[in-house]
């Protein structure tokens, strides 16, 4: 076996022998992987269907047209006909971050103001993260109330090009206070408002955010990277009636390959397409587009709706079990596929907990929590998700057993006990029972 084949087998074994609980990950079907590994990867196709810069694109045109239509059909499935007819999809964007940048550059000029969600409260880097080192903090803009105005270290490109103001969650509930966000929007007059994040466990009130955007004449962009599959499956609310732009990744709850889609109301379609190509990218990854198309075919079924709803049910059962055992679950529950837990007040660091979970075969990640006292590198919480466990076929009972194992580990760490061999065996048994999909 050559080195690459050997590593593929090794990674397969790792995935099979551990329980993946990182909310932004999922396992694809064999058909998705075959599409990604297909001959579509051989073709250059700069441009758009029927307007290419290379010959030989008649099949690619058909592929891209089909996947574009499927994106609109599947993602707006739970919206009215009027909404369904009003959206356009660009399936060439290479990743969630690239999709977001395409949205910004399609409607904004450098220096324009964006109001987005604060990173340590669960926002995303690509929404314009910047911060100040401790040494610079005295003269940085930093924060007042729920507003965060960034710092000198422009970590993400978006924060170098645009003027970023970020909103935090309410300091008591860690849920958005929309009246406060509205006040901030009126004060700051942004040109674009963004919602969506990586670790916010509650549903977003898209209608209220639209009203806020309208009040200040801003565009509204819903980044649904995490929720895409849940929206397609009708398990959470849909942003399409209210947003001007919706971007999402295809590899999380949607169960497609690593990739993304950028969608907009039809009035912005020319701007968005131009921003993607030739604005930011060259030739699209046609093999990824094929894999995304396969994921949309799979998501366009009753089985997928049940699956998406089961992901949420599983996360809610997990959150309830952790709350009942006395863990500090942020917002005391979840409306979607992820659960955020603060552990520092119990004397355990987020990184320590995540690495001990990995030792027993549960793969999660350390995470910041709202009003974080540590840093993104040394945060006080950890994040758990149920997409992979649901893909492996787990329902409430199995999730309760996973919760029990996590709680047991947490209690042992709290009491400075370091023997976890029995917990590792229990995880192993679950891995054998709930196998990877084909
Ligand atoms: C809310 C949000 N936006 C954007 C992204 C970026 O996606 P990508 O990693 O494909 O660039 C992520 C990734 O996790 C995300 O959670």
Q: Taking phi first (over 0 means left), then psi (-120 to 50 degrees means alpha), and beta for anything else, what does residue 17 get?
A: alpha
Would you say 29 and 393 are in contact if contact means Cβ atoms under 8 Å apart?
no
Q: Give residue 122's pLDDT band: very low, low, confident or very high (50, 70, 90).
A: confident
Helix (H, G, I), strand (E, B) or coil at 73: helix
Atom 9 of ligand 1, residue of closest alpha carbon:
96
For residues 187 and 272, membership in a common domain is answered with yes
How far does residue 95's CA lie from ligand 1's centre (Å)? 7
d(CA 100, CA 1): 40
- Residue 123 marked ligand-binding: yes
Would you say 239 and 68 are in contact if contact means Cβ atoms under 8 Å apart?
no
Q: What is the CATH number of the domain that holds 389?
A: 3.90.1150.10
Which of 272, 299, 326 is a domain's end point? Answer: 299
Which of 279, 299, 319 is a domain's end point? Answer: 299
For residues 281 and 379, membership in a common domain is answered with no
For ligand 1, whether the C-beta of 97 sits within 6 Å is yes
- CA dist list (Å): 174 to 56, 122, 302, 343, 380: 53, 10, 34, 16, 15
Q: Looking at residue 430, what is its pLDDT?
A: 98
The packing angle between helices 421-433 and 350-360, to 10°, is 60
Would you say 147 and 113 are in contact if contact means Cβ atoms under 8 Å apart?
no
Contacts of 272 (CB under 8 A, 6+ apart): 88, 90, 102, 103, 106, 245, 262, 264
Which of 299, 317, 351 is a domain's end point? Answer: 299
Pairing of strands 19-20, 362-363: parallel
Q: What is the CATH number of the domain that holds 153?
A: 3.40.640.10
How far does residue 177's CA lie from ligand 1's centre (Å)? 24
Q: Looking at residue 138, what is its pLDDT?
A: 47
pLDDT 10s digits, 206-250: 999 999 999 999 999 999 999 999 999 999 999 999 999 999 999
pLDDT 10s digits, 275-311: 999 999 999 999 999 999 999 999 999 999 999 999 9
How far does residue 272's CA lie from ligand 1's centre (Å)? 18
Contacts of 227 (CB under 8 A, 6+ apart): 196, 236, 248, 253, 336, 337
Provide the CA 240 distance to its chain's centre, in angstroms: 17
For residues 295 and 384, membership in a common domain is answered with no
Once rounded to an integer, what is the mean pLDDT over residues 388-398?
A: 98
d(CA 291, CA 146): 40
Lowest-pLDDT range of 125-139, 174-188, 302-316, 390-404: 125-139
How far does residue 253's CA lie from ligand 1's centre (Å)? 12
Would you say 262 and 99 are in contact if contact means Cβ atoms under 8 Å apart?
yes
Helix (H, G, I), strand (E, B) or coil at 218: coil
pLDDT at 135 over 70: no
- Pocket test of ligand 1: the residue of 104, 117, 126 to mutate, having most ligand atoms within 8 Å of its CB, is 126
- Pocket test of ligand 1: the residue of 96, 200, 365 to mutate, having most ligand atoms within 8 Å of its CB, is 96
For residues 121 and 168, membership in a common domain is answered with yes
For residues 266 and 251, membership in a common domain is answered with yes
Strand order in the sheet with 143-144: 87-90, 260-265, 245-249, 219-223, 192-195, 113-117, 163-167, 147-148, 143-144
- Pocket test of ligand 1: the residue of 91, 101, 248, 249 to mutate, having most ligand atoms within 8 Å of its CB, is 249
Instruction: State the pTM of this model.
Output: 0.96
Instruction: Examine residue 213 and state whether it is found in any structural domain, yes or no.
Output: yes
Would you say 132 and 140 are in contact if contact means Cβ atoms under 8 Å apart?
yes
How far does residue 76's CA lie from ligand 1's centre (Å)? 20
Ligand 1 atom nearest the C-alpha of 259 is 10
For residues 78 and 122, membership in a common domain is answered with yes
For residues 55 and 149, membership in a common domain is answered with yes
Structure tokens at 206: 């898209």
For residues 101 and 71, membership in a common domain is answered with yes
- Residue 381 marked ligand-binding: no
Once rounded to an integer, what is the mean pLDDT over residues 336-360?
A: 96
Lowest-pLDDT range of 145-159, 260-274, 395-409: 145-159
Instruction: Examine residue 22 and state whether it is found in any structural domain, yes or no.
Output: no
Atom 6 of ligand 1, residue of closest alpha carbon:
96
Q: Which runs of consecutive H residues, i.e. helices, occur in 28-177?
A: 30-36, 58-75, 81-84, 96-107, 157-161
pLDDT 10s digits, 41-88: 999 999 999 999 999 999 999 999 999 999 999 999 999 999 999 999
Q: Looking at residue 253, what is its pLDDT?
A: 98
Domain hosting residue 336, numbered range: 302-433
Q: State the total domains in the chain.
A: 2
For residues 288 and 417, membership in a common domain is answered with no
The radius of gyration of the chain from alpha carbons, rounded to an integer in Å, stands at 22
Would you say 21 and 367 are in contact if contact means Cβ atoms under 8 Å apart?
no
Would you say 217 and 186 are in contact if contact means Cβ atoms under 8 Å apart?
no
pLDDT at 140 over 60: no
> Containing H/E element for 396?
helix 396-414
Q: Looking at residue 377, what is its pLDDT?
A: 82
d(CA 95, CA 107): 19
For residues 335 and 292, membership in a common domain is answered with no
């Amino acid at each position: 076996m050559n080195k690459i084949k050997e590593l593929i087998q090794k990674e397969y074994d790792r995935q099979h022998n551990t329980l993946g609980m990182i909310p932004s990950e999922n396992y694809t079907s064999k058909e998705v992987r075959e599409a990604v590994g297909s001959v579509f990867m051989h073709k250059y196709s700069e441009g758009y269907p029927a307007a290419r810069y290379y010959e030989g694109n008649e099949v690619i045109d058909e592929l891209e047209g089909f996947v574009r239509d499927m994106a609109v059909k599947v993602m707006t499935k739970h919206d009215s006909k009027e909404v369904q007819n009003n959206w356009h999809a660009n399936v060439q964007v290479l990743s969630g971050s690239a999709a977001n940048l395409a949205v910004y550059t399609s409607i904004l000029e450098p220096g324009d103001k964006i109001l987005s969600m604060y990173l340590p409260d669960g926002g995303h880097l690509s929404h314009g993260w910047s911060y100040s080192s401790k040494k610079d903090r005295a003269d940085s803009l930093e924060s007042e109330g729920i507003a965060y105005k960034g710092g000198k270290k422009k970590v993400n490109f978006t924060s170098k090009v645009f003027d970023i103001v970020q909103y935090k969650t309410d300091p008591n509930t860690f849920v958005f206070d929309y009246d406060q966000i509205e006040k901030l929007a009126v004060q700051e007059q942004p040109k674009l408002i963004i919602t969506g994040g990586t670790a916010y466990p509650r549903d977003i009130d898209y209608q209220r955010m639209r009203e806020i955007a309208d009040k200040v004449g801003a565009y509204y962009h819903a980044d649904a990277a995490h929720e895409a599959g849940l929206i397609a499956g009708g398990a959470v609310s849909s942003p399409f009636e209210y947003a001007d732009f919706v971007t999402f990744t295809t590899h999380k709850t949607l169960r497609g390959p690593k990739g993304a889609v950028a969608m907009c109301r039809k009035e912005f379609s020319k701007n968005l397409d131009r921003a993607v190509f030739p604005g930011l990218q060259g030739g699209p990854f046609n093999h990824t587009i094929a894999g995304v198309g396969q994921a949309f075919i799979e998501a366009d079924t009753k089985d997928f709706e049940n699956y998406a709803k089961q992901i949420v049910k599983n996360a809610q059962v997990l959150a309830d079990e952790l709350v009942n055992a006395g863990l500090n679950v942020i917002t005391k529950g979840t409306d979607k596929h992820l659960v955020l837990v603060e552990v520092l007040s119990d004397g355990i660091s987020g990184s320590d907990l995540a690495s001990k979970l990995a030792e027993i075969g549960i793969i999660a990640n350390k995470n910041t929590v709202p009003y974080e006292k540590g840093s993104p590198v040394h945060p006080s919480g950890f994040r758990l998700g149920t997409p992979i466990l649901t893909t492996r076929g787990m329902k409430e009972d199995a999730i309760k057993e996973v919760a029990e194992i996590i709680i047991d580990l947490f209690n042992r760490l709290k009491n400075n006990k370091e023997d976890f061999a029995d917990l590792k065996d229990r995880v192993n048994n679950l891995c054998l029972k709930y196998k990877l999909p084909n």
